[in-house]
Amino acid sequence: MARPPRLVIPNQPHHVIQRGNDRQAIVRDEEDCQRFMAWLKECAKFYRVAIHAYVLMPNHVHLLATPIDNEGLAQMMQKLGRYYVPWFNNKYERYGSLFQGRFRTSLVDTDRYFLACSRYIDLNPVRGHLSATPLDYPWSSYAHHAGARIDTLLSDHPLFWALGNTPFQREAAYIALVDQGITPDELDFISTSLMRSLPLGSLTFKENLERTTQRQILPAKRGRPFKETPV
């Protein structure tokens, strides 16, 4: 059975994950990280995909990204793979695929979950025990959001700008937001939505998606339909 096409909506944020094949490393040293991020920046710019948050982990990458059209997200990831995988394979004298199939994506309900998703991404190294604080990890968007450095890969979303009237206010608000951490329910909802390629949003958000896209978003009702209206 053919896989259903990804649910991609232009000008809407998407949470993306690409894992290493069999959870193997996709970066092994600083040079790998630099190459990966440089090519991601080039591909995002070429296909006009705005990157709002990211984290490059040893065996996977998370992105919070907004494409301008239906094809840009997939084209960006495909071109990134065409650049990075041959270079990585040549460097480490390996063959075959590096990534675990096609990337997964979850459409994000902007008003309710954009900042939660950004926080989820920036806290990934802490959850993975790679750093004590998000600022200690160099390959994520947190330092930019916290005002520690300017990251030219990133395009700040209007919701980030709405955190304050000045850069200092926005950065302080984001730091406080991340310091709150993520509740277990929030963590499970974001993770499950991403791994099942389901929209990350409220019931109303999903119902609206079903109407506008003419695709099944919500679980199908169980049982056979009634032949007549039950009394």
> How many CA atoms are closer than 13 Å to the CA of 124, on its beta-carbon side?
24
Q: Name the phi and psi angles at 50, rounded to 5.
A: -85, 125
pTM, 2 dp: 0.90
Say if residue 83 is exposed, middle or buried (CB neighbours under 10 Å; 0-12, 13-18, 19+). middle
For residue 176, the model assigns a pLDDT of 97
Distance CA 223, CA 225 (A): 7
5-52 pLDDT, tens digit per residue, is 788 999 999 999 999 998 899 999 999 999 999 999 999 999 999 999
Provide the mean pLDDT of the chain.
Answer: 92
In terms of average pLDDT, the best of 1-5, 58-62, 200-204 is 58-62
For residue 222, the model assigns a pLDDT of 57
Contact 120, 114 (CB under 8 A): no
For residue 221, the model assigns a pLDDT of 62
Domains of the chain, CATH where assigned: 14-203 (3.30.70.1290)
Distance CA 53, CA 145 (A): 9
